[in-house]
Amino acid sequence: MRNLRADFPIFTNQPSLVYLDTAATSQKPQVVIDAVSRFYTTSNANIHRGLYPLSAQATEQYEQARQTVASFIGAKSAREIIFTRGATEGLNLLAQILGSTLKSGQNIILSDLEHHSNLIPWQQIVQKYSVELRFLESDQEGNLHLENFQTLLDQNTAIVSLTHCSNVMGTVTPIALFKKMMQEQGSDAILIVDASQSVPHFSVSVQELDCDFLVFSGHKLYGPSGTGVLWGREELLAKLPPYQTGGDMVKTATLTSATWNDLPWKFEAGTPNIEGVIGLAAAINYIQEVGLAEISEHTQKLHTYAWNKLSEVPQITLLGKPDPTSGIISFTANLHPHDLAGLLGEKNICIRAGHHCAAPLHEKLGVVASNRISIGAYTTQEDIDAFLTALVEITKEVANV
Amino acid sequence: MFSLEQQEIFDRYKHPQFAGSFEDADLIAEGINQSCGDEVKIFLKLDDKKITKARHICRACAICTASTDFLLEKLEGESIEVIDTISVEEITERVGIPLSPIRLKCALLPLEALKNTIKA
């Protein structure tokens, strides 16, 4: 793969930056920044409303972006793509609209690996509709097992919502196998996939996963903040009630009633993040031009390198056994994660510290917090080396105090 | 290389001089920093208003732990009324290293815990 450094202006403007927090948010290539800027400077108008050419142009770009996303994840139709503010909004949307269809006594299966965004929205539903939350426990390496899933799944399971790739453990869930088991057990539960950490790293097809809904954020995929995607099977989306209501999501409206617009607009109330969505499409085009397979290979190579080197640092405890494609390595050291991240930060080396919005998982792991490095398409071996050198120096110093 | 100030912080983090607890405490102050999970518990023994003994249990980062240890070092032997007069600058000066807004909260947690408990 060619060196992508020059495509990302942050590295020109911050020459000493070592950015290893891509799982929190990715840096943006110039093509994405340009796409956003170009929209404002050449095509800005509201969409789906204006009868003048400028609005038609804006609408066309916005809907073209939907088509780009649909092709990217293998959706059957662009009607199945709903734009959101991010994975969090996608999961809140699902919890609210699916929650309203639940019956008392039904259950929802999540895993203990979930990011708070795939946990808290369901906790709210449980309180409201008298349903039960069940948790699929991960093993020490951070993997989820079918045998354990089988014991949780029953005829009252209405929803299964799982991470595709853990943002802490970096493990990948074999979603298609889970779906197969659901079918074998005669379960008609809805399967939701949080693909926030998988879509930036390897090819994800909703047909291959065989899930019912899938969400991800644009900002982790080299796209603008405040963008996200909810994909759902058209037949399910068609029969579900809307999420937010207001402009653009109605077909007809009187003072006392309204009818809903067609898919996907039924789920997109109000003026959306038009320039962000256009920027997201530019990001997808960019990674496809670079090649997702090449990005995967690059990530795996650097991950393996970093993992092997970190294994040799005596003051480091690695957490779990991540899939190298995830680009994620979490660990603890001989100092508090915040202190380590703070000291590395003084050298302009950016790594994550905390519970990474997965507090229950950290409690299970028996640590208050952890550190995490995460690799993106632009990460270089020099980044990893700079991090390792500083890490060894700091942990040695602490050990000697 | 660690600066002398950094070394002192890590020294106090690893070998706090006022770590521990005792049963007949006259005042127990607890502080939690929600954003990073730091937890501090401070125990004071009073003779009238004089602090005769001060100890802490910190489940926290180095800055928070060292700051707590520095604070108790200052307080032992002083009147409890001193606590209200201690300023943010006194704490940051004692910690001695530059603190970003997020780390400032770590350093101030013990003082805030004590002030809140006395107020309550």
ipTM of the complex as predicted: 0.88
Give the confidence band of B111 by pLDDT, cuts at 50, 70, 90: very high
* H-helix or E-strand spanning residue A144: none
Q: A266, A263, A236: which is closest to A249 by C-alpha?
A: A266
Handedness of CA A194, A200, A202, A206 (dihedral sign): positive
pLDDT at position A49 is 83
Query: Looking at residues B37-46, what average pLDDT do you find?
Result: 94
- pLDDT tens, A281-303? 999 999 999 999 999 999 999 99
pLDDT at position A318 is 98
The minimal CB distance from A369 to the residues B1, B37, B63 is found for B37
Percent of chain B scored above 90 by pLDDT?
89
What is d(CA A89, CA A55) in angstroms, rounded to the nearest whole number? 27
Contact assessment for residue A191 and residue A203, using Cβ atoms and an 8 Å cutoff: no
The minimal CB distance from A397 to the residues B2, B13, B63 is found for B2
Give the confidence band of A368 by pLDDT, cuts at 50, 70, 90: confident
Give the confidence band of B34 by pLDDT, cuts at 50, 70, 90: confident
Give the confidence band of B48 by pLDDT, cuts at 50, 70, 90: very high
Tell if the pTM clears 0.90, that is, is over it: yes
| Residue A125, pLDDT above cutoff 80 | yes
Mark yes or no for CB contact A339/B100 under 8 Å.
no
In this structure, what token pair is assigned to residue A102?
């639940």
Residues 355-384 of A with CB under 8 A from B: 355, 368-369
pLDDT at position A163 is 98
pLDDT at position A251 is 93
Chain B interface residues (partner A, CB cutoff 8 A): 1-2, 6-7, 10-11, 13-14, 36-37, 59-63, 100, 103, 106
DSSP bridge partners of A259: A252
The minimal CB distance from A368 to the residues B59, B63, B100 is found for B59
Residue of B3, B5, B6 for testing the chain A interface, max A β-carbons within 10 Å: B6
A49 in contact with B, Cβ within 8 Å: no
| Residue A229, pLDDT above cutoff 80 | yes
Helix, coil or strand: residue A353: strand
* Tokens 């662009």, residue located: A78
What is d(CA A331, CA A322) in angstroms, rounded to the nearest whole number? 11
| Residue A324, pLDDT above cutoff 90 | yes
Mark yes or no for CB contact A369/B36 under 8 Å.
yes
pLDDT at position B38 is 87
Mean pLDDT over all residues of chain A? 96
pLDDT at position A41 is 98
Mark yes or no for CB contact B36/A338 under 8 Å.
yes
What is d(CA A46, CA A67) in angstroms, rounded to the nearest whole number? 19
Amino acid letter, A126: V
Q: Of A91-95, A98-102, A313-317, B37-41, which gets the smallest average pLDDT?
A: B37-41
Query: Looking at residues A241-249, what average pLDDT do you find?
Result: 94
Residue of A315, A370, A401 for testing the chain B interface, max B β-carbons within 10 Å: A401
| Residue B61, pLDDT above cutoff 80 | yes
In this structure, what token pair is assigned to residue A154?
């029953």
Q: How many angstroms from the chain centroid is the CA of residue A391? A: 28
- For the question of residue A357 being annotated catalytic, the response is yes
| Residue A220, pLDDT above cutoff 80 | yes
What is d(CA A96, CA A117) in angstroms, rounded to the nearest whole number? 13
Q: What Rg value do the Cα atoms of chain A yield, rounded?
A: 22
- Set A165, A211, A350, A357: catalytic member: A357
Give the confidence band of A177 by pLDDT, cuts at 50, 70, 90: very high
Helix, coil or strand: residue B106: helix
Give the confidence band of A55 by pLDDT, cuts at 50, 70, 90: very high
| Residue B18, pLDDT above cutoff 80 | yes
Q: What Rg value do the Cα atoms of chain B yield, rounded?
A: 13
Residues 166-205 of A with CB under 8 A from B: none
Mark yes or no for CB contact A336/B2 under 8 Å.
no
